[in-house]
Structure 1
Amino acid sequence: MSAEIVQFMGQAGPYLTAALGAYGTGVLTRAEDAAVEATANVGRRMLRAVWRSRDEQGRAELETAVQDAAEEAGDAEAADAAAALRRQIRRTVREDAGLLRELAALLPAGGPVTVTASGERSIAARTIGTAVTGDNTRLGP
């Protein structure tokens, strides 16, 4: 397997996991939801692109892997199901270099971002204009 595919799969993992968590088994058919975090939508678009590039048998295999990964989430079999899904994706991108470029282009520059706020009145944001916490705060003149 090429280093490019290995690198892509490492970067894509959090997006695929978020998509399965947000959409479950409907990840291949559900429309994009603006309210769902961007990470899940990127993963959903990746899975849909892989699904579209496969033949009927390949689509059925991918659907089974997605269903297993969504159903096994959070239990002892989750890692095995996620690995089976990654194998399906790797198989597809090995056969279609154009698809690998398409999927890699979906990844935001710099990879996934995790922002954490901890403590009373904390704020967490990737980008922010004005943020105010506290009582009796006034903005402007």
Structure 2
Amino acid sequence: MSVDVVQLAQDLTPYATTAITAYGAAVLARVEGDAADAAVSFGQRVLRRLTGRDTPDNETSAEQDALTETVSELAGTPGDADLAAVLRVQIRRLMTAHPDIAADIAEWARPAAPTTVTITTSGNRSPAVHSNYGTINTGDSTT
């Protein structure tokens, strides 16, 4: 099976960054049994596989060590888009150097892609709601 590592790296990076944002540098040490949502759990699993943390001997390659370092850096500044891009490139390089890892991860079922929701409200008595399936009552006409 031939794996498009560029596309796979693009697909996996949001999961990895979601897990890093949720757990910081501890993301590689956490176990999958933690109460985490599906995207974070999947991101943790991907990062453990990519960094070699899921192997019994914990022997790692130079690409895996570089990725681990980037995970630590990104954990310190989770909103850094440049570091997220570096993470994506390093994931791609690692999977190119280790096609067996890429093929393994490519077969994993993925949860819904992680998303970021921004809700903005302004004005007196303006409700801030992500999803609403009914009426929103802000009260009478007083301010």
TM-score under structure 1 length normalisation: 0.68
Alignment-derived partner of residue 65 in structure 2 = 60
Matched, 1:81 2:83: yes
Q: Structure 1: where are the runs of 5+ without partners?
A: 123-141
Alignment-derived partner of residue 15 in structure 1 = 15
Structure with larger Rg: 2
Alignment-derived partner of residue 32 in structure 2 = 32
Q: CA contact under 8 A between 1:12 and 1:107: conserved in structure 2?
A: no
Name the structure where helix makes up a greater proportion of residues: 1
Alignment-derived partner of residue 112 in structure 1 = 113
How far residue 57 of structure 1 moved from its aligned partner, in angstroms, is 4.2
Paired with 2:16 and 2:73, the residues of 1 have a C-alpha distance of: 13
Instruction: Give RMSD over aligned pairs.
Output: 2.8
3-state SS in 2 of match to 1:12: helix
Specify whether residues 93 and 79 from structure 1 end up closer, same or farther in structure 2 by C-alpha distance, changes over 3 A only.
same
3-state SS in 1 of match to 2:44: helix
Deviations 1:20-71 (A, max 9, x none): 1222111111111442001011111111111117636444322210011111
Deviations 1:86-113 (A, max 9, x none): 222111100111111111222427x527
Alignment-derived partner of residue 96 in structure 1 = 98
Q: CA contact under 8 A between 1:24 and 1:71: conserved in structure 2?
A: yes
Task: Within 5 Å, give how 1:44-55 maps onto structure 2.
Answer: 44-52=44-52, 55=60
How far residue 6 of structure 1 moved from its aligned partner, in angstroms, is 1.6
Q: CA contact under 8 A between 1:39 and 1:112: conserved in structure 2?
A: yes
Q: CA contact under 8 A between 1:42 and 1:106: conserved in structure 2?
A: no
Q: CA contact under 8 A between 2:63 and 2:93: conserved in structure 1?
A: no
Paired with 1:11 and 1:95, the residues of 2 have a C-alpha distance of: 18
How many pairs align? 116
* Bigger relative contact order, structure 1 or 2 (CA pairs below 8 A, ≥6 apart): 2
TM-score under structure 2 length normalisation: 0.67
Could you list the structure 1 runs, at least 4 aligned residues long, displaced by more than 3 angstroms after superposition. 56-60
Amino acid in structure 1 at the alignment position of 2:86: A
